[in-house]
Homo-oligomer: A and B are copies of this chain.
């Protein structure tokens, strides 16, 4: 499998991967350099041989992980023909824990860490703005496609509609990842599609069950 041979690829990347994994399940605040080293199967010293400081490593790891997620999702969506189906897939991929195949615990946990950090760290703030706008851009592209093909009848700008959908998804995902008893993954999925249908102007086919 990928990355099984010890010294194969880029150590840099191996460490970023390990860091992302550790942050995801311990949380940024509880992440020690030694944890990352252990996860990566190397000595603590080596971490600082490849990165200038813990802070830089953590920031890089956060954006790196979000990058991965974006690329995976983007690649997958591009090959879906219908805008409505693209949207449905995007929503499914965004619901924490809906599709067990994807992601470890959850990319959303990392997003929240990014937000906290971006509040005080200008470097992270810049990265965050880029990531968030790219995320909305992805949605806007889908919307534009749907408007062009006539699947969506709304006359609002794609950017405004994308902002609404992205905000909705963000807000709901937070509740889901927190395991709020009133907001299940399935509930989030339905709510997102409901609102999308009304905002974009398309009909939800009647759902079974």
List A residues at the B interface (Cβ < 8 Å). 26-30, 109, 112-113, 115-116, 118-120, 125, 128-129, 132-133, 136, 159-160, 163-164, 166-172, 174-175, 177-183, 191, 195, 198-199
Contact = CB atoms under 8 A, between A and B. Distances in A.
Contact of A191 (B164, B179, B180): B164
A42 B166 CA distance: 45
A125 B178 contact: yes
Nearest to A190: B160
B30 A133 contact: no
A153 to B, nearest CB: 14
Given A112-B119, A116-B27, A198-B198, A175 B180 contact: no
19 contacts: A29-B29, A30-B120, A112-B112, A112-B115, A113-B116, A119-B178, A129-B178, A129-B180, A129-B181, A132-B178, A163-B172, A164-B191, A164-B195, A167-B167, A167-B168, A167-B170, A167-B172, A169-B171, A171-B171
A181 B178 CA distance: 28
Contacts of A160: 191
Nearest to A194: B164
Contact of A133 (B115, B172, B182): B182
A136 to B, nearest CB: 7
Nearest to A29: B29
Contacts of A109: 119
Contacts of A179: 125
B164 A168 contact: yes
A115 B112 CA distance: 8
A174 B115 contact: yes
A116 B112 contact: yes
A27 B168 CA distance: 26
Contacts of A129: 178, 180-181
